[in-house]
Chain A
Amino acid sequence: MSLPRSCHALAASLPLVALLASPTALATPDPGDWQAVVDEARGQTVYWYAWAGEERTNDYIQWTADRVAERYDIDLVHVKLSDTAEAVSRVLAEKQAGNDERGNVDMIWINGENFATMKANDLLFGPWSEQLPHYPLTDPDNTPAVRYDWTIPVDGLESPWSSSQVVFYYDTALVDSHPRSMPELLDWAHDNPGEFTYARVPNFLGNAFITQALLELADDTEILYEPMQEEDFEGVTAPLWAFLDELHPLLWRSGRAFPSNSSELRRLMGDGEISIGLSFSTTEASGAIANFELPDSVRSYVHDHGMIGNMSFMAIPYNAQHKAGAMVVANFLLSPEAQAHKQDPVVWGSNTVLSLEALEPADRALFDDIDLGVATLAPDELGEVLGQPHPSWVDALAEAWQARYVGR
C-alpha cells in the first residue's frame, strides 16, 4: 500500500519548517552540579502538566507554586489536565513536528503505563533524578518501588512523588462484615446484587481491580512480573475470567454500565447506589467525608492477600524548555516539608515516598503529627503491598476485558 509521493514530501518537509523557525539550541543543565542547576532555574517559568480532577491536588500544587516562587524564584504554572495522556500527546505532537528543543511541557505527573511508553519512545530527558539532593531520603537501595515503576527500570528518568495503594471502602451502615478476598467478594455480591462495581477498564482503577483479582486468583504470580508471552496468557488468566463472568451479572446495573473513573465510583457510593467501592488512595474515604461526598459511616479495608500499590513520579520530557527549573521543583517536592504537607488528609492525604527511617528526627516528627482521619487505615493495617505486574500484562488484560465485555 503506498500513497502518492506528494504526501511523503509534505510530511517530510514539516520538520524542516520547524527547524528553520526555531532559534539556537539551549544548553542542557547538568544535574551533577546542583548549584548550577539552581542558578539556571532562577527566573524560569515551569509548566507542570498534572491531572486536575481533584481540588485538593490543585490546592496542593498551588501551595508548591507559592513556595518555589519564594525560595527559588521559579514561576510554577499548573497546566490542568483531565487525562495525563494529553501531556504525552503534546510531547508526541512536538516530536512529530520536529520541535526538539522548545517543548511546552516541562514536567509531567506520570504513572507507570505512560512512563513505559514515553521511555520506550525516547520521549524522556535524563538520567537526572538520582542526583537530586533529596533523592537519598527515599532509601532507594531498600525500596524497589523507587527503582522499578511497574517493573520497568526507572534509570533516573523520573523522580518519585507519591505512593499509593488500592483500598476498598464500604458503608458500615449498609454492610455488616466486609469481604476479605476476591472469592468472599463474589459470595457477598451473590447476597447483595447490584451493590458493587469498579471503574471501567482501561481506566487505571479498573485495570487495578482486575489485576488485583488476577494476583489473588492465579496459581503462579511470578510470571506476571516478566514481559508477557502470548502462549502463557490464556492459561494464567483463565481463573480471572471465570471469576469476572460470575461477578458481572451481580454488579451495579448488572455490569451493563461501569463508572468511568474513581470519582464517579465515589459519587455512586455517596448517592447510596453501591455499598462497597475502591480507590487508589488510602485516604480517599476520609477526605471525601470531610468534603461532604461520603457519609461518615464509611470505612476502608484491605484483602488478606495484600493489595496492589505503586508510586507516581515526576518526569521531564526530552524537549522540555525549562529542565533546570523542573528539577528544582521535583527536588522540592521530595523534601520532608512538602511530603509531610501532602500526606496531611486535610491538605490532600497522599502518601509519602520518603523512608521515615532515613529522615532526621525533626523531619520525622512532621509525619508523626499528622491526623490521618477516621476512615483511613493506619500504616500497619494496610497489609502487604503487591507490586504492579509488567505493563505488557496489564495492557493484554485490558484488551481482553474489552473484547469480552464491550458491545455484547
Chain B
Amino acid sequence: MLRLAPWLIIALLVGPILAGLAMAALPAFGYLPALGGDAFSLDPWRALLAQPGLARSVAVSFTSGLATTAVSLSVVLLFLAAASGSRLDRWIRRMVSPLLSIPHAAAAFGLAFLIAPSGLLARLASPGLSGWERPPDLLIVNDPWGLSLMAGLVIKEIPFLLLMSLAALHQIDAERRVALARSLGYRPTIAWLKVVMPSLYPLIRLPVFAVIAYASSVVDVAMILGPTLPPTLAVSILTWFNDPDLSRRFMASAGALLQLGVTLAALASWWGLECLVRRLGHGWVAGGQRRRGERRLRVAGKTLILLAAVTALVGIAGLALNSLAGFWRFPDGLPQTFTLQHWQRALPALGGPVAATLMIASTATLLAVGLVLAALENEQRSGRQPAQGQLTSALTLLYLPLIVPQIAFLFGLVVVMEALGTRPTRWLVIFGHLMFVLPYVFLSMSEAYRRFDPRWSRVALTLGSTPNGAFWRVRLPMLLAPLLTAMAVGLAVSIGQYLPTLLLGAGRVSTVTTEAVALAAGGNRRLIGVWALAQASLPLLGFIIAVGLPRLLWSNRRGMRGTP
C-alpha cells in the first residue's frame, strides 16, 4: 500500500498537467473543432507574433521572474547572515507566518495604495512636506518596466523563501559552522555567508525555482501592479482567452505555450547564473578575507528585510483603514469620516464562501498530508534516501505544478474534465487544489521528516513495536510541530487559489478568494479592504493553531514544542 503512495502522487499531479497542456497545444496549432478549426496550421502563432507589444510583454515576464527571485533570495540570505540571534531575528521569525498568510492580491492592493501618487505615503507627506494639493502625475504603479510589480512580488516571496530556509537550516548545523569559522577569525556575517550559505542553497533550490516560475507567470498581482501597455504575457493570455471574439482562443493557446517557454527560459537562465555565481564565489569563499564588507552586509541584511516586512504590514493597515473609511479626499492623511457600512454590507455575504473555503482547504490539506506522509514513510522504510535537493528523484516530478504556469494548462484541463463527463463540483475543485497543495506540503514536511533521527524508531522497534506502531506512536507525535506548520502552509496555499477554483468549479464554487477577486474587478478599495482582510485572516488562523497547539499539547515537554 505504502509503496504505491509516490506513484499515486505522481499520477495525480503529472497526468492532469500533461493532459491540460495537450489540450492547450491542439488549439495552438489550429485544432479546435468547436470553433471550426479542424486542420492543423501555424496561423495562431503568426497571429500571436503579430500582437503589438508582444516582445515587451515577454521581456517583462522574463525579467520579473529573474529579478524578483534574485532580490528576494538576496534579502533572505543577507538577513540570515546578519541578524542571527538578534531581536530583529526573533521578530521577523515571528512575523514569517502572518506575512506568508497575506494573499498575494491583498498585498498587491496594499502596496498599490501605499506608493501611488495619491496613495498613503503621498497623503501623509502632503501638502506639508511635498506641497502637493493634487496628486502628482507620476507613473509609479503600472510602470512600463514592471518595477512595482516586482516590488509587490518581492514582499510576498521573502517570507516564503525565509520559511523554507529556516526549515532547511536545521539540518546543516549552522551555528557550529559559524562558531568554527569565527574561531578562525571570520566576522559573523562573513562567516555565515562563507560556510553556511553554500550548503544551504542546494537545500532551498526547489523553492527558488518555484518562485521563478511563479513570478514569471503570475496573473493577479500583475493585473494590479504590472504594466498595462502592454501587460505581462500571462495577463495578455488571460485577456485573449476572455476576448468576446472566440477566434482569439487559438492565439491564446499559442500564448499559453509561449508562457511555458518563457518560464522555462527563465529557469534555464537562473541555472546559468547559478554556475556563474558558483565560479565567481569560489574565489571569494576560499580567498581568506575575514572582515571586508562585514559592516555593509550587516546593515543591508537588517534593513532590507525590515523594509519589506514593514511595507507589507503598512499596506495591509492601509487596506484596513480603507475598509472603515467614508469619503477620503487627497491629501488628507486620514478619512474625513469613518463608517462600518462596508463591513455591515459584506458580512452577510461572507458566511457561505468562508465555510466553502475552509471545507475545501482542509480536505485538500488533509489528503495532501496523508499522501506526503505515506510517501515519506515509504522512503524511510525502503531505506532509499534521495540525494537531498537533487533534481534526479522521481518525486521531483511533484514540483511540476509549481513550475508549469497555471495559465498554460488549466484551460486545457477544463476541456479534459468536461470530456470525461465530470461535473464541476467541490470534489473537482478539491482535486485541483490538491495539485498545488501537495508540492508545498511536501516542501515544508520533507526536510523535517528526513532529518528525523532514525534511532528513535529503531529504539521503538527494539522494544517490540511494529513499524506502524513506531510511526503512529513515536515518529508522528515527535513531528507534530513541523506537521502542523506544513498543514498551515497547505491551508494558505489552498485558500489563495483563484484560477483552479474558478475554472474547475465552473464558477459555481465560490470561495473567499474568488469573491475577493471578482469584487477586485470592481476596484472599490473599501470593499477590497474588507474582503482582503477576511481572506488573510483565514490562513492566519491556521498558522496560529500550528504554533499554539504543540505548546498546549506538550506544555510539560519543552523539547517537543518545536522551534518557532
Contacts and interface: CB of A to CB of B under 8 A. Distances in A.
A217 B341 CA distance: 44
A117 B34 CA distance: 13
A390 interface: no
A17 B30 CA distance: 22
A36 interface: no
Among B33, B116, B223, max chain A CB count under 10 A is at: B33
B401 interface: no
Contacts of A49: 507
B357 interface: no
A10 B508 contact: no
Interface residues of A, number: 86
Contact of B31 (A11, A268, A395): A11
Interface string B374-418: 000000000000000000000000000000000000010011101
B241 interface: yes
Interface stretch (B149-157, B208-216, B451-459, B518-526): B518-526
B518 A258 contact: no
Contacts of B341: 292
B510 interface: yes
Given A11-B31, A272-B330, A407-B230, A256 B139 contact: yes
Among B42, B144, B330, B419, max chain A CB count under 10 A is at: B419
Nearest to B525: A267
B26 interface: yes
Contacts, number: 222
Nearest to B139: A253
A90 B506 contact: yes
Interface stretch (B50-58, B276-284, B362-370, B486-494): B50-58
B35 A92 contact: yes
Contact of A15 (B116, B345, B414, B419): B419
A53 B527 CA distance: 10
Nearest to B27: A96
A166 interface: no
Interface string A76-114: 010111110111111011111111001011000000011
Contact of A257 (B228, B415, B506): B228
Nearest to B32: A96
A402 interface: yes
Interface residues of B, number: 84
Contacts of A128: none
A200 B523 contact: no
B349 interface: yes
B327 interface: yes
Interface stretch (B83-91, B244-252, B266-274): B244-252
A1 B523 contact: no
A261 interface: yes
Interface in A253-272: 253-254, 256-258, 260-261, 263-264, 266-268, 270-272
A97 B417 CA distance: 9
B34 A21 contact: no
B329 interface: yes
Interface string A139-162: 000000000000000000000000
A310 to B, nearest CB: 14
A393 interface: no
Nearest to B506: A104
Contact of B52 (A93, A257, A406): A406
Contacts of A193: 137
Interface string A222-237: 0000000000000000
Top 5 A-B residue pairs of the complex, sorted by shortest distance between their CB atoms: A407-B53, A21-B421, A53-B522, A263-B523, A97-B418
Interface of B: 22, 26, 29-35, 39-42, 51-57, 116-118, 134-135, 137-139, 142-144, 223, 227-230, 239, 241-246, 249, 325-330, 337, 339, 341, 345-346, 349, 411, 414-416, 418-421, 423-424, 502, 506-508, 510, 514-515, 517-527
Interface of A: 1-3, 7-8, 10-11, 14-15, 17-18, 20-22, 47, 49, 51-55, 58-59, 77, 79-83, 85-90, 92-99, 102, 104-105, 113-114, 116-117, 121, 193-194, 200, 202, 252-254, 256-258, 260-261, 263-264, 266-268, 270-273, 291-296, 395, 402-408
